[in-house]
Amino acid sequence: MQRVVNSSFILLVVALLVCSVYSVDLNEFLAQRERLLAEESSRILGGSVILNADEQLVNNVLMAAKTLEFDQSFSTLDFIPADHYFLAKPAMLQSEVFQFIQQMPKGAVLHIHDIAVTPLEFIINDASYRPNLYVCTPPQDPVFFQYASSAPANLLDCQWTLVADKREQEGPEQFDSWLRSKLSLFTLTPQETYPNINSVWTAFENTLIAGSGIITYAPVFTDYFYQGLQSFYDDNVQYIEIRTTLPQVYNLDGTLMDEVQVTQLYKDTFDRFKNDNPDFSGAKIIFAPLRRADSATMTKYVELASQLKAQFPDVVAGFDLVGQEDLGPPLKDFLSQLLAGAVDPDLHYFFHAGETNWHGTDMDENLIDAILLNTTRIGHGYAIAKHPSVMDLARSNGVPVEVCPISNQVLSLVADLRNHPAAMLFTNGFPLVISSDDPASWEAVALSSDFYMAFMGLAGKKADLRTLKQLAINSIMFSAMSTDEKNAAMAEWQKRWNSFILNKYNEYKTKHNQI
């Protein structure tokens, strides 16, 4: 009996010992686990932001909605950022997270193009109803539009017809729906309609050409950009930098304005908008002509950029080049011209670079040239995650990438936004801003659609209000504003932010008290 007790006792002691060894191990392990998770949480974009008590409460509300949406999507596999934007948009508009982001003061939008800045409703419901607008018929792709006091000389393949006549003939609803289809890439069958990157770019450029005939008519031009600013202002964006080719703006009699006059039009429009909305922090342009140019033209472009910068120092932010990057030519073809431009200390570069999936090609190396040319920011930088040395330089020089998630999806770089390489930039706290590139072309909601996709699809389930706050701060910090302008914009943003947090806080308290 004694032996039995003893051996049972020994077994018990051994069992407890084993248990305690394991439980210590487990506790130690769990502590290590927490430390590692905390470390990763601190490395994410916004990881160093400290939220105050009110912000923490609002963050809890936000994260409850985000977690719910994430978990539901995980069950149903209907995850909005994993689907094509054209198909996912209705669900996005219903999302509580999206609505939160819409209301949030988001700071600035820094990467957006002239011909796709303003919602299509302005062109369809306003500009295209103005008198003297002609369309070249039968319409081909691209469709040409032009305002003129009398029908312009016919083109090779089509003749000019008054839009008013055509609209009456076809019925306004049908005509307007057709007009929208010529200005927008939207389709419910994106994969079939745009089977590859070149086909979607061709269609995209056709929408821009169609739009530009309407937009570059002087009276429309100023109203168009005024409405563009309005749409971002309404989306709680307070500052904007527009890349523009500085197209020749025309009058009804066919006379053309030069780049100086067009820059003045921008300035006048920006001033008018700011006058009407004193809490708007302003707007600037980046002169960004087509990259498909010869050396002599590039020399002229760079000289013109310097000249405009000198003439409109507060309006002109700098210089860039546009057009489907893959089709080139690459920046390295213009090194002499761009180095010559760099002699002007006031001319800043904002190069598109790395908007490609072709790693190791000449075009991909635009990232190398952009960073060595002291670019102030990198447009897209989709490929930067594959360039560790460019990343190192960009980080140490404080050069952010302008990430445009929906653009990259619609323009065929990536299908499921969870595979967007900027996800790695988020988790590594790399300097970046979110922008919307050409929201009108894919009917995105100003800046909020892209913010939503970045927050849900790129930054991961755990990214919270700290990340959103940092994105807003980044957008002002990395803008081309002067220090004084930045300070004023930051103060304005902080005011809006405090008010936003207070509103959200009160909303929650009211709801909570009612329940």
**Catalytically active residues, by annotation:** 355, 380
Minimum CB distance to its own copies smaller for 359 or for 509: 359
- Binds its own copies by CB under 8 A, chosen from 180, 267, 300, 462: 462
Assign 36 to helix, strand or coil: helix
Minimum CB distance to its own copies smaller for 245 or for 427: 427
Q: Which stretch binds its own copies (CB under 8 A): 163-171, 254-262, 279-287, 335-343?
A: 335-343
**Minimum CB separation from its own copies for residue 186, in Å?**
21
Q: How far apart are CA 373 and CA 367, in angstroms?
A: 10
**Minimum CB separation from its own copies for residue 26, in Å?**
6
Task: State how far the alpha carbon of 313 is from the alpha carbons of 225, 307, 350, 477, 484, in Å.
Answer: 20, 10, 16, 19, 14
Range 74-96 burial, b when 16+ CB lie within 10 A, else e: eeeeebbbbbbbbebbeebeebe
**Minimum CB separation from its own copies for residue 336, in Å?**
6
**Minimum CB separation from its own copies for residue 381, in Å?**
13
- Binds its own copies by CB under 8 A, chosen from 37, 151, 256, 502: 37
**Minimum CB separation from its own copies for residue 348, in Å?**
17
- Binds its own copies by CB under 8 A, chosen from 29, 94, 398, 512: 29
Whether residue 268 contacts residue 222, with contact meaning beta carbons closer than 8 Å, is answered with yes
Q: How far apart are CA 476 and CA 238, in angstroms?
A: 9
Site for its own copies in 271-290 (CB under 8 A): none
- Binds its own copies by CB under 8 A, chosen from 14, 17, 26, 256: 26
* Binding track over 180-199 against its own copies, x by CB under 8 A: ----------------xxx-
336 binds its own copies (CB under 8 A): yes
* Binding track over 78-117 against its own copies, x by CB under 8 A: ----x-----------------------------------
Minimum CB distance to its own copies smaller for 77 or for 296: 77
In the structure encoding, which two tokens stand for residue 226, read together?
A: 């005024």
Minimum CB distance to its own copies smaller for 37 or for 64: 37
- String of DSSP letters for 187-206: -S-HHHH--SHHHHHHHHHH
Whether residue 315 contacts residue 225, with contact meaning beta carbons closer than 8 Å, is answered with no
Q: How far apart are CA 118 and CA 443, in angstroms?
A: 10
Bridge partners of 242?
112, 285
Whether residue 275 contacts residue 145, with contact meaning beta carbons closer than 8 Å, is answered with no
Dihedrals phi, psi of 504, to nearest 5 degrees = -65, -40
Minimum CB distance to its own copies smaller for 40 or for 303: 40
Side chain identity, residue 106: K
**Minimum CB separation from its own copies for residue 420, in Å?**
8
Whether residue 161 contacts residue 146, with contact meaning beta carbons closer than 8 Å, is answered with no
Q: Is 185 left (phi over 0), alpha (psi -120 to 50) or beta?
A: alpha
- Binds its own copies by CB under 8 A, chosen from 163, 257, 370, 463: 463
Minimum CB distance to its own copies smaller for 180 or for 462: 462
CA angle at residue 334 from 329 to 337, to 5 degrees?
150
312 binds its own copies (CB under 8 A): no
Q: Write the burial class of residue 422 (CB in 10 Å: 0-12 exposed, 13-18 middle, 19+ buried).
A: buried
**Minimum CB separation from its own copies for residue 39, in Å?**
5
Sign (positive or negative) of CA dihedral 274, 407, 320, 143:
negative
- Binds its own copies by CB under 8 A, chosen from 54, 70, 272, 307: 70
Assign 51 to helix, strand or coil: coil
357 binds its own copies (CB under 8 A): yes
Residues that contact its own copies, how many (by CB under 8 A): 59
- Binds its own copies by CB under 8 A, chosen from 180, 332, 494, 500: 332
**Minimum CB separation from its own copies for residue 360, in Å?**
3
**Per-residue 3-state assignment (H helix, E strand, C coil) for 309-364:** HHHCCCCEEEECCECCHHHCCCHHHHHHHHHHHHCCCCCEECCEECCCCCCCCCCC
CA angle at residue 244 from 240 to 250, to 5 degrees?
120
- Binds its own copies by CB under 8 A, chosen from 11, 256, 310, 424: 424
30 binds its own copies (CB under 8 A): yes
Site for its own copies in 364-423 (CB under 8 A): 364-365, 368-369, 371-372, 385-390, 393, 413-416, 418-421, 423
Token look-up 């008010």 returns: 499
Footprint on this chain of its own copies (rule: CB under 8 A) = 22, 25-26, 29-30, 32-33, 36-37, 39-40, 43, 70, 74, 77, 82, 196-198, 326, 332, 335-336, 339-340, 357-361, 364-365, 368-369, 371-372, 385-390, 393, 413-416, 418-421, 423-424, 427-428, 460-463
